[in-house]
Amino acid sequence: MSRIGDLARLARQYRRATLLAVVVAVAIPLATAPPTQGASLPVNPLLSAVVLPALPGHTRAEAVAVNDLGQIAGTSTPGPAPSRAVLWSGQTATDLGGGHASGINSRGQVVGWEYLGGYGTYVQQPRLWHRGTTTDLTPPGSGLVVTSVVNRDGVVPMTYSASPSGYHQERAAVYSGGTLTPIEPPGVSGPHLSLTVVTDRGVVAGAYLPMFGADSFAFRCEAARCARLPGPAGRYSVSAANEKGVLVGTAEGLPTYALRWDGDRVSALPPLAGEVSARVAPGPQAVNESGDVVGHTVGSGGLTRATLWRRGQAIDLGAPLGHQSQAVAVNDFGDVVGWSEDGVGQRRAFLWRDGRSTDLGTVGGQSSEPVALNNWGVIVGRGVAANGGGQALKWVVAPLI
């Protein structure tokens, strides 16, 4: 089936699910920021807000990612015992196995890792969970393996230490269909490597930070052939990419710059007027297919302001709780989620749509932060419950379709 056909089918399924949610959901009052000139947001787009259940006998849970089928990946923890990776479908939590989930693709494959180290060793093994099967992706002879994303075809980039006795990320590889292919960025000698991006086209991107010296750079790889990405002097990294080849990231320094790459051309995204620096959100949804980028800018006093960059212009998303805010993810319809903080450190999730911010609340807890959203109105996040424990959260809003 074509991608257009897939999206149409998903839209029909989601409309049916949304109508059911409207019937059974309990109305939740929300504080909504005043609209900007010309805003066209419904009074309250929120349909429901729920706490996702931890596994039986567990006390805490955390959601990390959601796909366009509404499947949610995360982790459930039974107090001090080892954690378990979880896949939520609706309100049903499925135990995937020992470890922590870090990402999910459009087919429901979940990527993550399980820490097995002991005294004097650093062993962290990557896992791919799908339909009751666990695949161990561990490179031979490796120790501490780091991976966080998986693309539509089950391609997983990873970095790792060369032995269990070390934790420096000295090597990189891409797993695909049972094969590990080494990734060798140009001019690299020693740690530290990171691979944070993989697109459905198979483009991989990451960064290199030397143990000593200043030759730090970001890079992009296609078919295991890698090239440096141009950037400013000093340390810079990649956060996300879209299928059109746009990459975004951040250059560390004084000031900090938000960066955008179109092919081999790099440009700095401007901070909001009166602010001094800018940073792209550190996750795979920092840029959408239209090229919208989210993150935050920072004023001279150090307070952050949630920011959307659209067609090169910085848009202030506000701070609904009045103190500071950050944007963390954007979907392909231009919906943005982020958090806002008051003067005593409490955070609450918000949705920004068409110039207007909606407070998503804390779902009965002390605080909430979103981490991801899909194209059909599902937002996931983490929160602190009334008793102080961690909880996984899901909000459903009216989708823009």
pLDDT in tens, 310-360: 998 999 999 999 899 999 999 999 999 999 999 888 999 999 999 999 999
Query: Would residue 37 count as lying in a domain?
Result: no
Q: pLDDT tens digits for 69-122?
A: 999 999 999 977 789 999 999 999 999 999 999 999 999 999 999 999 888 899
Residue 367 lies in a domain: yes
Q: How confident is the model at residue 2 (pLDDT cuts 50, 70, 90)?
A: very low
Q: Is residue 387 part of a domain?
A: yes
Range of the domain at 390: 271-400
32 has a pLDDT exceeding 60 = no
Asked if residue 287 belongs to a domain, the reply is yes
Whether residue 343 is contained in a domain is answered as yes
* Least reliable range by pLDDT among 119-133, 208-222, 363-377: 208-222
pTM of the shown model:
0.88
* pLDDT tens digits for range 358-380: 999 999 999 999 999 999 999 99
| pLDDT-derived band at 4, boundaries 50, 70, 90 | very low
Residue 62 domain-assigned (yes or no): no
pLDDT at 250 over 60: yes
- Please check whether residue 344 lies inside any domain of the structure: yes
Amino acid in position 196: T
Total domains in the chain come to 1
- Is 60 exceeded by the pLDDT of residue 27? no
